[in-house]
Amino acid sequence: MKVISFAAAVAISFSSAAFAADKVSVQLDYVVRGNHAMFFVAKKKGYFEKQGIDVTAIQRGTGSPNAMRLVGNGNAEFGFGDLPTLAVARSQDVPVVALAAVNQHSPLGILALSSKHKLTKPEDLKGLNIGVQPSGSTYVFLKAFLTVNKMTMDDIKQSTVNPPYENYLLLGRVDAVPGYIDAEVPELEAKAGGPGSLSIMQGSDFGYAVYGSTDGVNFSSTPFVTGTGTSGSTVISFAQQSVMAVKIKETGSVNGALIWWSIGEFQTTCSM
């Protein structure tokens, strides 16, 4: 699995300056956007070079699922994509792993024009025509978001759209679209009429938060991972933590009231 080779390559680069820099490529999930800046800044300022890494290409993509496949089949050493799509890729035996989480809260949400629809709770989506791209990460998010909030795809109307699917919202062809609030929203809001023109329902407001404890009694005030759960089985990916115990807090609500749920079985992977 090529992504794992990075750790070994860095270790080797520290041992002797005589070794040539490791040539790697980065596969982005979509066209270049603000959340990709770290790759370009680090390359320009020589941060990669100082660690013995030669980033030969930073390639634009067509979606997180495709980025996972390209890394999994060896066309790129590293990729950028969302964790829910990575969990799905792993279930399909795509050999990729998560090295770091850029966002501590999922940037995925549901977007609508506030002049037409006010989104305040998941039930507001019922009956709406939602633009979806079945092969994209936003579709994975939409299905998970509906499931955790006791809804199904049958509760909405679907229109298959192609990127940039935000245009379908502006043209009134769909009522809402799933999207990234740190990517689509700034440009979409500017075209829709400025601040306040969008009604945004962020997925992480209706999910879970996981806290760690080093003594089994006192837990950190800041969760080390948050996300949206799904019925049946939920895979939670996060950076390695040194803890004695974890606490999972339900964060979803309907009309201001918490949604009650329970965990029937909990499995985790630990290293000693």
Look at residue 222 in the predicted model and tell me its pLDDT: 75
Beta partners for residue 108, in sequence order: 180
pLDDT at 9: 29
Distance of CA 253 to the CA centre of its chain: 21
In a domain, 62, yes or no: yes
Examine the domain organization and report whether 76 and 189 are in the same domain.
no
Q: Half-sphere exposure of 185 toward its Cβ, with a 13 Å CA cutoff? A: 21
Helix then strand count (H, E) for the chain reads 8, 13
Report the pLDDT value the prediction gives residue 4, as an integer from 0 to 100. 32
Determine the 3-state secondary structure of 71 from DSSP: helix
- What is the pLDDT, as a whole number, of residue 6? 30
Here the CATH number for the domain that contains residue 185 is 3.40.190.10
Whole-number pLDDT of residue 197: 94
* Any domain includes 73: yes
Q: How many domains does the chain have?
A: 2
Whether residue 241 is contained in a domain is answered as yes
CA distance linking residue 77 with residue 97, whole number of Å: 11
User: Which of 41, 67, 91 corresponds to the end of one domain?
Assistant: 91
Q: Is residue 268 part of a domain?
A: no
Same domain, 57 and 112: no
Give 123-142 pLDDT, tens digit per residue.
Answer: 999 999 999 888 778 888 89
d(CA 202, CA 107): 7
How many angstroms separate the CA atoms of 94 and 87, rounded? 10
pLDDT number for residue 90: 87
Residues with pLDDT less than 50, the chain = 1-18, 231, 254-258
In a domain, 136, yes or no: yes
pLDDT of res. 12 = 30
Run of H or E including 121:
none
Structure tokens at 268: 């985790």
Indicate whether 67 and 132 sit together in one domain: no
In a domain, 272, yes or no: no
Contacts of 157 (CB under 8 A, 6+ apart): 127, 128, 129, 130
What pLDDT score does 19 carry?
A: 56
Distance CA 146, CA 136 (A): 16
Render 191-251 in DSSP notation, one character per residue.
Answer: HHTSTTSEEEEEGGGSSEEEEEESSSS---SS-SEEE---SS-----------SEEEEEE-
- What range defines the domain where residue 213 resides? 103-261
45 plus 108 within the same structural domain: no
- 42 and 118 in a single domain? The answer is no
Can you tell me which residue has the tokens 């941060």?
Answer: 47
| Domain stops at, among 68, 91, 114 | 91
